[in-house]
Structure 1
Amino acid sequence: MAIRIALIGTGAVGRGILEAITRKDLGIVLTGVADSRSGMIHSDGISPSDLLSRKRETGLCGDVSITADDVVRTAPYDVLVEVSPTDAATGEPATSYIRTALSRGCHVVTSNKGPVALHYHELKQEADKAGVSFRFEATVAGAIPILHTLLESLGGNEVQALYGVLNGTCNYILTRMAEEGLSYKQALDEARALGYAEADPTYDVKGIDAAIKLVILANTVLNQRITLEDIDITGIDLLTEEAIRLAEEQDATIRLIGEIIPGKNLYRLSPRIIPRHHPLVVHGSLNAIILRTDLAGDLVFSGKGAGSLETASAVLGDILSIRDRYAGGN
């Protein structure tokens, strides 16, 4: 059974989705697409490979007279796939796109952290009222299926604590400082050169990105109603080579660790000294998460927390889960 999608956003994640659809016969038909400057709608389907070529050659995915709003409101799709850049302050325009799709009785899959962190409970209520799914696996830990695991596979378990390395940029910087003795600035410059860090890395190195992921985990999995202001945040931007060296002398290292302990209402993100062989000492841009549960005990997850195809993997998993669940109808 084929499922029709409209794709909003053709950045790294959007291109990863298009590449995966091109490579594999997944039964996904693209009927609408938009970037920040153009759009395309075609009920018979749009070739992902042709679209990727057009984007590379012109910088546009379609006609400049067609906007993302046009695609969301009028394209014939079963699932809106919203993968535009995150606005952590307002969640717009992605939140409005999601609400429009839900009001049309369409499912939504997103990698956009803003709408989920800011408006999860309202959007979930709107999706339930419309009888459709609102899924967002790609908002936390990239290719690691942590939300699916917590929301579906660990039903009946009480999550007593969650600890995680949730930002690949910071983890790469800390890894290079420890392994090669680089200064913070040298490691950051290297991360920029490799595409792990943005030109303005503030969002990552001050801990904002990882803290938003803690908000999403707390609100979606633990049914909390917290905001970014409820998290005690310390980033890595003031970390020195001396601190790394002192940790290494103790057969330890430093990682930026997010922590949720529901019973204590504790939500914290900070650089922590941990033993060098601890499960959270992953290298490069990897992410890692430890769950402490009452029935299943401690569970450890690690994998690629970012990347075009890796994040696309999480998005595609959500799309195909919707297709399988709603086979035979919207």
Structure 2
Amino acid sequence: MANWIMDYEVSLKDVNVKGIESISLEEIMNAKREGSAIRLIGFISHGEIKVSPEIIPLNNPLCVNSNLNAVVFECVYSGQHLIIGRGAGGKETASSIIRDIINIVASRNVNDYKSKKILRMSRGIEISIRNLCN
């Protein structure tokens, strides 16, 4: 998102990532008692890019459940915007993989795809790519 929306040129190694593995059951229960929940939040602002667990009030738009994702961004003239949509579900994941394959094939010499290790993840994907190229 930083690259696409904010015109950054960063990779995953530039992101300060803290996962959820260190969160204790006690921290989860404390957040619940306070009317909050712990959510993994990505933050991009003025060159700072991070992902970390944050305590979010239950009424905060970022406190979504199930397979929903939420994005809040702020524009100078139009203010704050919220987008909520389905995230990691079966159809969403399949759609994302197909989009990635199409992007990879479209950006490379189609006749040379067999030499690209990134495209040879499994026989099923090779077949899909071959069908897309013919």
How does the TM-score come out when normalised to structure 1? 0.28
Separation of aligned partners in 2, 1:309 and 1:249: 35
The Cα shift of 1:290 comes to: 0.6
Match of 1:244 among 23, 28, 34: 28
Pick from 69, 90, 93: which aligns with 1:287? 69
Identity among equivalent positions (%) equals 35
Letter in 1 for 2:49: Y
Could you say if the C-alpha distance between residues 250 and 308 of structure 1 is closer, same or farther in structure 2, counting changes exceeding 3 Å?
closer
> Which has the larger Rg?
1
CA contact (8 A) 2:67 2:89 kept: no
What stretches of structure 1 move > 6 A for 4+ residues in a row?
none
* Residue 309 of structure 1: how far off its partner (Å): 2.9
Q: Which amino acid in the other structure matches residue 51 of structure 2?
A: L
List gaps (5 residues or longer) in structure 2: 103-134
CA distance in 2: counterparts of 1:302 and 1:287, whole angstroms: 6
Tell me how far 1:221 sits from its aligned partner: 2.0
Secondary structure of residue in 2 paired with 1:277: coil
CA distance in 2, matches of 1:250, 1:306: 28
- Between the aligned partners of 2:84 and 2:37, the Cα distance in structure 1 is 18
SS of 1:242's partner is helix
Partner Cα separation in structure 2 for residue 221 and residue 310 of structure 1? 21
In the aligned structure 2, how far is the partner of 1:274 from the partner of 1:306? 21
Unaligned runs of 5+ in 1: 1-216, 319-330
Please give the alpha-carbon distance, in whole angstroms, between the structure 1 residues aligned to 2:73 and 2:41.
13
1:302 to 2:84 alignment: yes
Matched, 1:259 2:49: no
Aligned counterparts of 2:79 and 2:19: Cα–Cα separation in 1: 29
Where relative contact order (Cα < 8 A, 6+ residues apart) is larger, the structure is 1
- AA of the residue aligned to 1:242: E
* Structure 2 residue identity aligned to 1:298: Q
State the distance in 2 between where 1:309 and 1:235 align.
Answer: 25
**Distance in 1 separating the partners of 2:64 and 2:4:** 25
Between the aligned partners of 1:220 and 1:303, the Cα distance in structure 2 is 18
Question: Post-superposition shift, 1:267?
Answer: 0.4
Aligned mates of 1:277, 1:240 — CA distance in 2 = 23
Deviation at 1:308, TM superposition (A): 3.6
Is the Cα–Cα contact under 8 Å of residues 43 and 49 in structure 2 kept in the other structure?
A: yes
SS at 2:27 equivalent? helix
1:243 Cα deviation after fit: 0.4
Please tell me whether residue 229 in structure 1 is matched to residue 13 in structure 2.
Answer: yes
Report the residue type matching 1:222 in the other structure.
M
| 1:274-327 Cα distance to aligned partner (Å, 9 max, x none) | 111100111112111111111221111112112343353995xx9xxxxxxxxx
SS in 2 for 1:220: helix
Q: Secondary structure at the match of 1:288?
A: strand
Out of 57, 80, 93, the position equivalent to 1:275 is: 57
Letter in 2 for 1:310: E
Per residue, is there more strand in 1 or in 2? 2
